[in-house]
Structure 1
Amino acid sequence: MDKAILTCALTGVLTNPQQHPVPVTPAQMAAEARDAFNAGASVMHVHLRRQEPGMGHLPSWDPDVAEAVIGAIREACPGVIINLTTGTVGPDVSGPLACIRRVRPEIAACNAGSLNYLKLKDNGDWAWPPMVFDNPVAKVQQYLDVMAECGTHPEFECFDVGIVRSVGMYLKNGMARGTVGVPEYNFVMGVASGMPCDTDLLALLPRYMAEGGVWQATLIGRGEIWPVHQRAAELGGMLRTGLEDTFYLPGGARAAGNGVLIEALAACARNAGRSVATPAEARRLLGLH
């Protein structure tokens, strides 16, 4: 890709807005999206939060919340591409599916495999009780069926190499039949029990994609992520950052918001000799119309 598609991950799942400057309300989400849009992000990856006072650290699957948040972002960023999260633990996917049907995003995340989701404290204790982020094939199929129904393009989120390889099986099996766009992979690196943020590993992953696929890298961490972002730009991938993924700019300063993170990501693209894609260019490259 000569053009670099930039995605902003605006807020994430459980970050407490009382401790970190993450947006929660429709107005806050729209303002952060506008800053990122002005800095070059053509795609907004959206997580929804509970809107009741004191509950903004918890996720929401209320279609009314989805409609309010997505509507505010679309109004603030004319032409923006919405990428809606769908990640849930457990078999009940009725909330994510209801939100897709309500707002009909052009893209939705499709977590493509299961992962033991683990993290340790420095003393060796678990940071949270060990859990499984469960995404069995039947669950993936439920998401893909509704994405096909709604004209939504799946972005396959891959936390490990085996999950990258599984996506090719899904496609060959016909699981994504009826969905729009070219195969899109999101290599998620930096989860403690998943793929590490590593430039050498990143360079290997595209060889395991389906023919005609495109990819981006989601890099979770602090200063160590920025050399990997630069390598992703040099390898021709799409680029993503935002307050969901990091609070830190190159050099280690804390980011005040999403706009400055996207500015730093755009600089990675330019350093690699690439220009930043407009929303119209991003749609063409992803095969969205």
Structure 2
Amino acid sequence: MNTTGRKVIISCAVTGATHVPSMSEYLPLTPSDIRTQAIEAAEAGAAIIHLHARDPQDGRPTPSPEIFRQFVPEIAEATDAVINITTGGSTRMTLAERLAYPLLAQPEMCSLNMGSMNFSIHPVAAKIQSWRYGWEKDYVEGMEDMIFRNTFKDIKHIMLELGGKGTRFEFECYDLGHLYNLAHFVDEGLVKPPFFIQSVFGILGGMGADPENMTVMRSTADRLFGRDNYHFSVLGAGRHQMSLVTMSAIMGGNVRVGLEDSVYIAKGVKAESNAQQVRKIRRILEELSFEIATPDEVRAMLGLKGRHEVTP
């Protein structure tokens, strides 16, 4: 997109399905915690709020529509942020489970992983001395032998089912080939610009957090789609979060932060909330003379259907 006078989109991924409770006491687990942290992040400047659900009893990821309903409508009522619901869920969920709530809610946005992949944080298990809940250790160690599945047929199904209801996508690209997968679906006529491309760096199984990889992703997206047809955004996992998303803004892109992506605010210091990360990146961006996009500006930039078209 033309960068003249542009504004930067801040997305916030509030809890995710990868980090486990033992990794941070600040990770929101209950509907109340997720709701509170999401609202605070929106108030801090996040225009897009990306949401997963967790079982309030032990914090494990869940696709349950009943649990989603305990916080999503209240977030929508309390903020004007764009609500972005995961279709990725976790590696333990079936496609039907992952789509259970999105198909009911028909949100303005959903995340969409652009391919099957090894996706793991299993080396983290060796660093955790005490586990808060019994399910966590097997969950983290088990990632070594798990594949996140999103076949071409799965992706097509999601595009048809949700795209047919006016939902647009955060295309999560963990590798260069994922851009080519998106280009395939563009050629098939299943998605149309403007595309919101979330490049993911630093996840084991995907691209490493090397700045050079960002340049390759950006130039490849330019070649495949044309810069005027997409918005580039970056997610940096773990310790790479702030440096990589800042680089994204400098390269004409957008940023994503949140406890789904990193449980830290600085080296060795845990973030106490999602809003703390949003405030930090907003301060960095504003000190670099970038303006922050509002939710309604994001709706216009991404061609979203608007809040009035979303099922309560």
- In the superposition, the TM-score normalised over structure 2's length comes to 0.83
Partner of 2:173 in structure 1? 158
Partner of 1:13 in structure 2? 17
1:45 aligns with 2:62: no
**Quick one: distance in 2 between partners of 1:269 and 1:258?**
17
1:64-103 matched pairs, under 5 angstroms:
64-77=66-79, 79-87=80-88, 88-89=90-91, 92-103=94-105
Post-superposition shift, 1:213?
A: 1.1
Q: AA paired with 2:32? A: A
Find the residue that maps to 1:150 and give its secondary structure.
Answer: coil
Gaps of 5+ in 2: 127-139, 306-312
**Quick one: distance in 2 between partners of 1:91 and 1:265?**
32
**Quick one: distance in 1 between partners of 2:294 and 2:273?**
21
Post-superposition shift, 1:14?
A: 4.2
Aligned residue among 207, 212, 218 for 1:206: 218
Which portions of structure 1, spanning 4 or more consecutive aligned residues, are displaced by more than 6 angstroms?
A: none
Question: Would you say the 8 A contact 1:27–1:72 is kept in 2?
Answer: no
Partner of 1:243 in structure 2? 259
Aligned length: 280
Find the residue that maps to 2:41 and give its secondary structure.
Answer: helix
Gaps of 5+ in 1: none
Find the residue that maps to 1:249 and give its secondary structure.
Answer: strand
Post-superposition shift, 1:19?
A: 5.0
**Quick one: distance in 2 between partners of 1:59 and 1:276?**
31
**Quick one: distance in 2 between partners of 1:10 and 1:111?**
17
Question: Would you say the 8 A contact 1:113–1:136 is kept in 2?
Answer: yes
1:212-223 matched pairs, under 5 angstroms:
212-222=229-239
Q: AA paired with 1:155? A: E
Partner of 2:159 in structure 1? 144
1:30 aligns with 2:35: yes
Post-superposition shift, 1:31?
A: 1.0
Question: Would you say the 8 A contact 1:26–1:72 is kept in 2?
Answer: no
Question: Would you say the 8 A contact 1:29–1:73 is kept in 2?
Answer: no
Find the residue that maps to 1:155 and give its secondary structure.
Answer: strand
Post-superposition shift, 1:101?
A: 2.1
Q: 1:271 to 1:131 in 2, by over 3 A?
A: same
Q: AA paired with 2:11? A: T
Post-superposition shift, 1:219?
A: 0.9
**Quick one: distance in 2 between partners of 1:134 and 1:47?**
17
**Quick one: distance in 2 between partners of 1:203 and 1:266?**
23
Partner of 2:273 in structure 1? 257
**Quick one: distance in 1 between partners of 2:160 and 2:76?**
25
Question: Would you say the 8 A contact 1:11–1:46 is kept in 2?
Answer: yes
CA RMSD of aligned residues (A): 2.3
Question: Would you say the 8 A contact 2:237–2:261 is kept in 1?
Answer: yes
Aligned residue among 290, 293, 300 for 1:277: 293
